[in-house]
Structure 1
Amino acid sequence: MLWSALLPSPSAGTAPPTEAAPQRALATWALQFTPRVALADEAVLMEVAASARLFGGRRALRERVWGEARELGVAQLAWAPNGLAALALARAGIENGFQRPLAALLDTLPMDTLSAVRPHRLTLEHIGCRTLGDVRALPRSGLGRRFDQLLLQALDQAYGTAPEAHDWVALPEHFEERLELMARVEQAPALLFGARRLLRVLSGWLAARRAGVTAFTLRWAHDAMRARAAGEGGEITIRTAEPTRDIEHLCRLLGEHLARVKLLAPVGDLVMVRNRGAAAA
């Protein structure tokens, strides 16, 4: 098994990654690599063992995922034989979960790298635990009596002695993604920075559908403190001569059109929509 955990940065340039919309957007993008994508706390997990060779092998897949994921605000990436282990390693800042035996790697990690341990961290610290290895070394019967069964189950799953269960993310039938900007934008060309992030998600959605787009719309919402005459916002529709999901081409077209737009008020939110009927296999 080959699992990857994608951990967004708390200051990724948009709304906090614990909010549903940015995390769902990241999951939508990840579906181009595998249908086995799941949400786990603040992270996105994906299992790619069956599809790695389609992307040129593990090394090429890692370079592709990491290169694009950083544009989407991912701060840490980790690979491991299972999803919970990958998430724990990502939280600890360790990317390669195959460099040593998994148990040896996990045993050194702080306790709070495993979500199920966090509610019991203070109690465990009082009895001398500092790492996952310390927790695992405690008598199982005592752990089962004193703490909830979720702790034991999560330890077993992370260490690979029990199977994981995930709810897989479904690919949306239609594409519409929103992005809340951290800073208000006053010049239309500057919207391209945030719009590129939405285009990256759109490109992933199209790849998962093995499709291209011939028209998409970027909408923007003006700041709530705008003058009444400015209206609520505006939009621009971009059309292409033939179906494509080439993000550089789409960014270039969008940038050319935004250069001719004058914003009537600062912008705080963006929404990108793939126009229905504007994609082809």
Structure 2
Amino acid sequence: MSAHWVALLTDVASDSSLPTDSAGIAVWALQYTNRVAQVDQAVLLEVEQSLRLFGGEDVLRGLIEDGAGELGVSSLAWAPTSLAALAFARVGIPDGFAEPLPKLLDRLPFETLEAVAKHGATLARLGCKTLADVRRLPRGGISRRFDSELLLAMDQAYGLRPESYRWATLPETFSARLELPGRVDNAVGLMFGARRLLVQMSGWLAARHCGVTAFTLEWCHDTMRSKDAGDGGELIIRTAQATQNVEHLSRLLSENLAKVTLKAPAGDLVLSATEVTPIVEESRSLIPDDRATGEAIDLVLERIEARLGKGRVLRPVLTEDHRLEFMHRWQPANEKRPPAKAKQVPGPQPTWMLRTPLRLDVSNDQPLYQGPLQLLLGPERIEGGWWHRVKDSNGQRNLVTVRDYWVALSPFAGALWIFQQRLPDDAKASWYLHGLFA
């Protein structure tokens, strides 16, 4: 299975005046994926399942790289495996997808993998300089001479063995501390460090699908202060509505800090989310939501039908029928009908149902679909339809159903929902494919 890993090095800062915090970055990264781990002074993210959610790889890359830059991370890399991404980040290769993975890794110094670097002196005496040199060594000799971690790390980096980590968890509350690089004498100067804490808080809020309505910024006075100055001060900021927007929160905090006078130079900052409220996501449906417009859905459908024409807007209606294909029907949106409940078929229900059942070939009384089918569960007999009459070119006819349904297994197509049509004259019954299970 393909994977997209991102490695954020936390021991290299874009601005050396502010230290990076791997735990804080891990919490911030949880807004993009729940597969976040802290390894070797780095934060690793597996974002394969998040690419579509955030609008594609390019959009997600931009979001992560912009946020990581604000948090002080300057070395970042993408790759198909986590250890490869970490190795690329250490040597400044941002894109591990530019060339085949083995070709890129083979050129790297073996020190880029922590488990290999531990044996650097011995490997150097063997003439190894790159990961390609280590790969050329006999595996049997490596396993006897070195610990098992070396071969494991090499195989994981090259995608030959699976990777597993202890994933970071999202804390129930947010409170982050930042040590300032020097003494800050005025309150406006605190924004330089407070901005980073706000970015962390915004990531935590996004991961919890919440917004903040009040947060507190505390500052601790430097130890070289007068006794009258106290230990520090705090500023409580409230918002009119719940928000995660960093720019908005930064402007509010900046405006309020401009009115504050520090009693002594500050050395540390602490930002806490004191009041948090869940944010109700806006509907992205093409049809307006009642909550957003205050207009009932029936009224909206009436307007759409007036524009498109009578009978052009349909809605599904449940019907009481044992036959799966007749458990619902489409009716004009303005047609009123008392609600009905669909009858449940005793057996398992397929995820997808064919509009028209597909007749299957049979060999030695065994149904075939991309090979012989193995009958797993059944039969479940469904009978009904004597009351259901339709008119066609041959006059009226009944849609009587007498079927024995089975769950069958195909070696190539997976679990299938098939049935055998029971015939009244004891003729050989035909087999049909009616649905597929996910």
- TM-score, with structure 2 as normaliser: 0.62
Residue among 3, 6, 11 paired with 1:4: 6
Residues 116-155 of structure 1: per-residue CA shift (max 9 Å, x gap) = 0121111111111111111111111111111110011000
- For CA contacts below 8 A with separation 6 or more, give which structure has more relative contact order: 1
**Structure with bigger gyration radius:** 2
Q: Does 2:94 align with 1:92?
A: no
Q: Does 2:46 align with 1:47?
A: yes
Aligned twin of 2:324: none
Secondary structure at the aligned position of 1:75 is classed as coil
- TM-score, with structure 1 as normaliser: 0.95
Distance 2:134 2:218 in 1: 50
Aligned twin of 1:106: 105
Tell me if the contact between 1:14 and 1:180 (Cα under 8 Å) persists in the aligned partners.
no
The residue identity in structure 1 corresponding to 2:185 is E
Aligned twin of 2:277: 279
Superposed displacement of residue 110, structure 1? 1.0
Q: Does 2:186 align with 1:187?
A: yes
The residue identity in structure 2 corresponding to 1:94 is I
Secondary structure at the aligned position of 1:128 is classed as coil
Secondary structure at the aligned position of 1:59 is classed as helix
Superposed displacement of residue 14, structure 1? 5.6
Tell me if the contact between 1:52 and 1:58 (Cα under 8 Å) persists in the aligned partners.
yes
The residue identity in structure 1 corresponding to 2:98 is Q
Tell me if the contact between 1:221 and 1:270 (Cα under 8 Å) persists in the aligned partners.
yes
Residues 160-204 of structure 1: per-residue CA shift (max 9 Å, x gap) = 000111000000110000011112211100101110100000000
Secondary structure at the aligned position of 1:54 is classed as coil
The residue identity in structure 2 corresponding to 1:216 is F
Tell me if the contact between 1:220 and 1:270 (Cα under 8 Å) persists in the aligned partners.
yes
Distance 2:66 2:223 in 1: 35
Stretches of structure 2 lacking an aligned partner (at least 5 in a row): 280-438
Distance 1:183 1:201 in 2: 21
Q: How does 1:64-83 map to 2 (within 5 A)?
A: 64-83=63-82
The residue identity in structure 2 corresponding to 1:6 is L
Tell me if the contact between 1:183 and 1:268 (Cα under 8 Å) persists in the aligned partners.
yes
Distance 2:252 2:241 in 1: 13
Q: How does 1:215-226 map to 2 (within 5 A)?
A: 215-226=214-225
Tell me if the contact between 1:186 and 1:267 (Cα under 8 Å) persists in the aligned partners.
yes
Superposed displacement of residue 228, structure 1? 1.4
- Which structure carries more helix by proportion? 1
The alignment's C-alpha RMSD in Å is: 1.2
Distance 1:29 1:214, change over 3 A: same
Aligned twin of 1:134: 133
Secondary structure at the aligned position of 1:133 is classed as helix
Q: How does 1:5-44 map to 2 (within 5 A)?
A: 5-11=7-13, 12-13=15-16, 16-17=19-20, 22-44=21-43
Residues 95-122 of structure 1: per-residue CA shift (max 9 Å, x gap) = 1111111011111111111010121111
Tell me if the contact between 1:9 and 1:73 (Cα under 8 Å) persists in the aligned partners.
no
Tell me if the contact between 1:9 and 1:75 (Cα under 8 Å) persists in the aligned partners.
no
The residue identity in structure 2 corresponding to 1:7 is L
Distance 2:17 2:38 in 1: 19
Residues 21-54 of structure 1: per-residue CA shift (max 9 Å, x gap) = x110000110000001000111100011111112
Tell me if the contact between 1:175 and 1:274 (Cα under 8 Å) persists in the aligned partners.
yes
Distance 1:128 1:43, change over 3 A: same
Superposed displacement of residue 77, structure 1? 1.1
Tell me if the contact between 2:214 and 2:237 (Cα under 8 Å) persists in the aligned partners.
yes
Alignment length (residue pairs)? 276
Distance 2:17 2:242 in 1: 29
Secondary structure at the aligned position of 1:53 is classed as coil
- Which structure carries more strand by proportion? 2
Distance 1:136 1:154 in 2: 12
Stretches of structure 1 lacking an aligned partner (at least 5 in a row): none
Secondary structure at the aligned position of 2:49 is classed as coil
Q: How does 1:103-252 map to 2 (within 5 A)?
A: 103-252=102-251
Secondary structure at the aligned position of 1:184 is classed as strand
